Structure 1
Amino acid sequence: MEELDLTTREGRFKHFGSVEPVKGTKPTEKAEMADLQNSKKDFLFAVESVGINNLSYPVVIGDFQSVGNFELATSLRREEKGVNMSRLLEALETENRNGVRLDFATLEQVLKVLRDRMRQENAEVTADGKWYFSKPSPGTNLHGMAHADVKYSLALDEGGLTRKQFGMTAMVTTLCPCSKEISEYSAHNQRGYVKVLIDVDPGADLPENHKEIVYELLEINASSQLYPILKRTDEKMVTERAYENPRFVEDLIRLIAYDIAELDWVKGFELECRNEESIHQHDAFSRMKHQK
């Protein structure tokens, strides 16, 4: 048995079972390697989307760096076996400036690079991230960092954009109208979640502050807003506003839908409101779709 020097890393590795590399027979130079993805024959079906998802990648949303979750894909012709997955990330890297700016203009450029490098008719990208922004308390005007989740989704073919969507999920306060009506005093309230996915009109001018516009519409229709910092005078304002504006989830979704439908750059939307009920073990929700 070979005597091993356990004072060296090589010796310790062998002691724990590591072995020498096997001398292979397959090529090591790229030019000599088989390229299975580029095989050409009848593979039975064209594929609508193939790519990568659950990709964590640094992004810039508004004024702050954040973390995005990406899905990148292209179509695949019937006569082609596969796509070169590394090119998906290479296309994203072309817009990396200490993070990819999460907006429509940047992601459309990624798609154009992707479709060109993959030599496919269609390409698509969806990216989610947490948007951070400074928000003042309602009375004392003390600023703290608030956040909402945003989504951008684009699809592109040879004729241009076929999908352009903006989504947001924000947290609000809701106070139960029924509880207020039947109780001698007080009313139960809870944190609510409002989620909207908007079909953006590709031909319309999208306001630069579209995130702020949508966030305000989600919040203003709720019983009250959430704030990162509240002093006692602020807390009094927040709780009293909630009491003055009771909302069922059905009320909330209808009020928000009206305001979203009024935006001239919106073609349609999906909307969901969900309350984490404070006096039940279940949640309450309402959901709707609308096309203009």
Structure 2
Amino acid sequence: MKDVQNEKDPRMVPLKKVGIKDLSWPLKVLLKNDGYQPTVAKITCSVDLHREKRGIHMSRFIEVLNKLETITPDVFEEILDDLIEIMEAKRAHLEIHFPYFVWKESPVSKKRSPLSIECFVEAEKDEDFSFKIGVRVPVHTLCPCSKEISDYGAHNQRAFVGIHVKTRKFIWFEDLVEIAERNASSPLYTLLKRIDEKFVTEKAYENPRFVEDVARDVALDLEKDTRIAWYRVYVESMESIHNHNAFACVEKGDFVLEG
């Protein structure tokens, strides 16, 4: 059969990324406390395209992705190496997004329930191999300004802490979740009894945080973690009394610690 994709393209325009997007794929995610959790990921996979080639063979992405069962750097690098070889490309890219559930106990009643976390893994290979992971964690923030100027109460809301990191050593998704939660006004829980609601409400009131506060303190925690070579932090608050959201972001290299 005629190989149309492999025809020579007269326009001679190289393309940096050509591939497939939003492919649903079953995966296993290793748990910090042993075992694994099944999930379904959305996959984006691409290669660069030489200026003389008209197109790529899409089916080859799926064939290579059959190796992807569990998320590890070694498996990702092997897949990218295979794509570079089979697609005759100089660079390959693989990105996945998936839900991950962390089981938590409510603070007082100790009722267990799962908290859904959005996770992210991105890998790229040319001459070097790059591997990044990330989380988007729901948290609770309470406004310091509202607390200061109000006779009683303070506006508070759900917020999200996004952390993307490139690591020197292995790091668990749970570790990043813990960093996000401890720098918010309070963690969130799926199941709360009345005694838990009282605890969370009062904890947040005693620990007011702007999005700027959360972003800075998460960054300082990441700076101190020797496993992390690079990071990006993005905090967004779903404002409860404004018709807009508030956000703050910081990336490694944006500031220098004194001392």
TM-score by length of 2: 0.90
CA contact (8 A) 2:48 2:92 kept: yes
CA distance in 1, matches of 2:152, 2:205: 11
For residues 43 and 101 of structure 1, the distance between their equivalents in structure 2, rounded to whole angstroms, comes to 40
* 2:18 aligned to which of 20, 44, 50: 50
Which of 205, 221, 228 is residue 243 of structure 1 equivalent to?
205
2:233–2:251 Cα contact (<8 Å) kept: yes
**CA distance, structure 1, for counterparts of residue 39 and residue 199 of structure 2:** 31
Which has the greater radius of gyration?
Answer: 1
1: distance between equivalents of 2:72 and 2:116? 17
Which ranges of 4 or more aligned residues in structure 1 deviate by more than 3 Å?
A: 40-43
Distance of 1:184 and 1:152 partners within structure 2: 46
Q: In the alignment, does 2:99 pair up with 1:130?
A: yes
State the Cα distance separating 1:269 from its structure 2 match. 2.1
Structure 1 residues 168-177 or 225-234, which shifts more? Answer: 225-234
In the other structure, the counterpart of 2:54 is 81
Local SS of the residue matching 1:101: coil
Listed as ranges, the gaps of 5+ residues in structure 1 are: 1-32
Structure 2 residue aligned with 1:284: 246
1:43–1:81 Cα contact (<8 Å) kept: no
Structure 1 residue 41, shift from structure 2 partner = 6.0
Higher relative contact order (CA 8 A, sep 6+): 2
Match of 2:170 in 1: 206
Shift of 1:288: 2.1
- Structure 1 residue 58, shift from structure 2 partner: 1.7
- The letter of the residue matching 1:112 is D
CA contact (8 A) 2:134 2:173 kept: no
- Counterparts of 2:11 and 2:128 in 1: how far apart (Å)? 28
Question: Structure 1 vs Structure 2: percent identity of aligned residues?
Answer: 35
Q: Where do residues 187-198 of structure 1 align in structure 2 (5 Å cutoff)?
A: 187-198=154-165
Cα shift readout 1:132-164 (whole Å, capped 9, x = no counterpart)? 12111112222111121111000012x330x32
2:121·2:133 contact (CA, 8 Å) conserved in 1? yes
Query: Which residue does 1:27 correspond to in 2?
Result: none
Structure 2: stretches of 5+ with no match in the other structure: 31-35
Give the structure 2 partner of residue 175 of structure 1.
142
C-alpha separation in 2, matches of 1:130 and 1:262: 27
Distance 1:214 1:105 in 2: 21
1:69 alignment counterpart: 42
**Counterpart of 1:143 in structure 2: which amino acid?**
R
C-alpha separation between the residues in 2 aligned to 1:240 and 1:102?
39
Inter-partner Cα distance in structure 2 for 1:39 and 1:177: 62
Amino acid corresponding to residue 55 of structure 1 in structure 2: L
Q: Does 1:153 align with 2:153?
A: no
Distance, in Å, in 2 between the alignment partners of 1:184 and 1:290 is: 39
CA contact 1:104–1:152 (8 Å) conserved in 2: no
Q: How is 1:91-170 mapped onto 2 (pairs within 5 angstroms)?
A: 91-95=64-68, 100-157=69-126, 159-161=127-129, 163-170=130-137
Query: Aligned equivalents of 1:147 and 1:75: distance in 2?
Result: 34
What is the correspondence of 1:13-32 to structure 2 with a 5 Å cutoff?
none
Q: Take 2:104 and 2:221, find their aligned partners in 1: how far apart are those partners?
A: 22
Number of residues of Structure 1 aligned to a counterpart in Structure 2: 249
* 1:178 Cα deviation after fit: 1.1
Q: What secondary structure sits across from 2:84 in the alignment?
A: helix
Cα deviation, residue 42, structure 1: 5.2
* C-alpha RMSD of matched pairs (Å): 1.7
Q: Is the 8 A contact 1:50 1:73 kept in 2?
A: yes
**Distance in 2 between the 1:174 and 1:57 partners?**
34
Task: Indicate the SS of the match to 1:121.
Answer: coil
Which amino acid letter does the alignment assign opposite residue 43 of structure 2?
A: F
